[in-house]
Chain A
Amino acid sequence: DAGVIQSPRHEVTEMGQEVTLRCKPISGHDYLFWYRQTMMRGLELLIYFNNNVPIDDSGMPEDRFSAKMPNASFSTLKIQPSEPRDSAVYFCASSPGLGKTQYFGPGTRLLVL
């Protein structure tokens, strides 16, 4: 298995633009997680899905952030409009179950100018 796949790996955009991050989880994993990593706040869970259904989005910072999982093999995290404080590394992770190992993707490094 190729592991969790994320795209793009790097994204540079200007404030106010829409940003879409993509994730393909490991096949057969029922759980998908979106995290944000910054120096100040560390790794923060934004939202997670179970069987394509959003279960907990309490970590989503504000309405500018939205996430979808239209099928078991694809998820998106969208920021609209983007702001400089959204600059961070965004990770997607998948897991075969809660309380089991989470497998992280390589991350998307986002810079909002």
Chain B
Amino acid sequence: QQQVKQSPQSLIVQKGGIPIINCAYENTAFDYFPWYQQFPGKGPALLIAIRPDVSEKKEGRFTISFNKSAKQFSLHIMDSQPGDSATYFCAASGGSNYKLTFGKGTLLTVNP
């Protein structure tokens, strides 16, 4: 059973656009929601993370929006740049253990 559903699978935007990637989770025990960024040939790297005590967190051009009642969270990238082209993974953990459960990933392409 997939516990974190991510959409879309792929996304193409023009430079300066605002791509939005969405994730939904099922386990109400989750209390840590990170986003990872992965470039080709590299391992995933933490981009930004949020805990459910806040509804939004911003770091630079990256913003996480969190809706606890809907069990959804999303990543927004403001003023996207070609260098943001990568695969983005949402993840969640919490409860009796803190194993990270990852979404399937979104391949983002930002055209110049």
The residues of A with any CB-CB pair to B shorter than 8 Å are 4, 42-43, 45, 48, 56, 91, 93, 98-99, 101-107
Contacts and interface: CB of A to CB of B under 8 A. Distances in A.
B102 A106 contact: no
Contacts, number: 43
Contact of A107 (B32, B43, B101): B43
Chain B, interface SS category = strand
Interface centre among B41, B43, B100 (most CB of A within 10 A): B43
Contact of B43 (A45, A99, A104): A104
Interface in B90-105: 93-94, 97-105
Which interface class (under 10, 10 to 19, 20 to 34, 35 or more) fits B?
20 to 34
A106 B43 CA distance: 5
A91 B45 CA distance: 12
Given A42-B104, A43-B44, A93-B43, A101 B99 contact: no
B102 A43 contact: yes
Contacts of A56: 97, 99
